[in-house]
Structure 1
């Protein structure tokens, strides 16, 4: 069973192929003032109380996971607490909250043990590939569910002919009208086919798309810091993350920096790591069957 934020249809479509998907309210969205979130916390609690029981609950570092994880723990589930893949210098708040209630804290990278000396290093957890990688000659530009208008505008000013642009909650229509040769959409449940065919992937930091592109599909990646996500990982985290993914990191979205970043990315060889998701699955199954204690 996967628990996703209510209304995140992209996550629902991606995960329903792997198992049951349950939606629960997200109490706080990225960059949102705490006061504005207060009406949603009771709804998030009600949704969490309605979740099916489980033996092991794996939390993945988002604030959305806090209430479902705590409710599941109170019902007797064992909690595995996974830090975000892009956190290296400051722990995620959700992970700090859940740590006292967890059977184990899990991290993707050895460097993250500086945050949690007793953590289990699983290796990076990323979505496995669904298609064989190929090069169809386009630049894929994506910024997740929320979108990143500043990045999209900067890419548009480059005058690129072959672009696939995923806009999220940013209106795709103006970009399509101004660039009739581009492929532009807000969401696509089969997003992996665009990852598989890209020559280069341009995406935002923070976010997990960079890891999927680099590790699952071995694509050159350009990451651009999104100033609209102030509660997420820091610039220092971005530097570590880019080094691990062998990605080009840009501090802001500007046409000149993007042009240089694309030129540099063409020369990069993406890294190769075993998927840590398999390690977590083995730990979870072993705990559920009572064969292992952490």
Structure 2
């Protein structure tokens, strides 16, 4: 594939086997500064969850790939609704060519502009006093 500068976070899964498969990728298990990786990304590929919103905050095109093995996670229908709201791309069949097409599609989308939630909340609190 033509993927460059790939960072993959594995979570609780040992990253070593993946590092051996792709030594050119930066593969980590966890980072307390994951937001910096998102901020520096060209595109974010993730499962359904808060990373989608973090990517949106940084203005990053996003591809959502649900994990069919996670039976207690969001359903495909939930994912469809969510990606529509944040103008992300849903790749429901896990194949490399689908992910690559999803990346290209995500790069072409206009990202929604989010209001400044922190300022809005501060203004609301100040109005109470």
TM-score range, shorter chain: 0.7 to 0.9
For the residues of structure 1 that align with 2:70 and 2:39, how far apart are their CA atoms? 27
Match for residue 260 of structure 1 among 80, 94, 101:
101
Larger radius of gyration: 1
| Greater percentage in strand | 1
- TM-score, scaled relative to structure 2: 0.85
- Unaligned stretches of 5+ in structure 2? none
* 3-state secondary structure, aligned to 1:198: coil
For the residues of structure 1 that align with 2:3 and 2:63, how far apart are their CA atoms? 15
Match for residue 203 of structure 1 among 27, 46, 51:
46
For the residues of structure 2 that align with 1:166 and 1:236, how far apart are their CA atoms? 25
For the residues of structure 1 that align with 2:55 and 2:41, how far apart are their CA atoms? 9
Contact in 2 for aligned 1:226/1:252 (Cα 8 Å): no
For the residues of structure 2 that align with 1:201 and 1:191, how far apart are their CA atoms? 12
* 3-state secondary structure, aligned to 1:162: coil
Deviation at 1:223, TM superposition (A): 0.3
User: How is 1:145-156 mapped onto 2 (pairs within 5 angstroms)?
Assistant: none
Deviation at 1:281, TM superposition (A): 6.3
* 3-state secondary structure, aligned to 1:266: helix
Structure 2 match to 1:169 = 12
For the residues of structure 2 that align with 1:169 and 1:252, how far apart are their CA atoms? 23
Which is worse superposed, 183-192 or 248-257?
248-257
Q: Deviations over 1:74-107 (max 9, x none)?
A: xxxxxxxxxxxxxxxxxxxxxxxxxxxxxxxxxx
Structure 1 match to 2:92 = 251
- Unaligned stretches of 5+ in structure 1? 1-157
- The root-mean-square deviation of aligned C-alpha atoms, in Å, is 2.2
Aligned length: 128
| Greater percentage in helix | 2
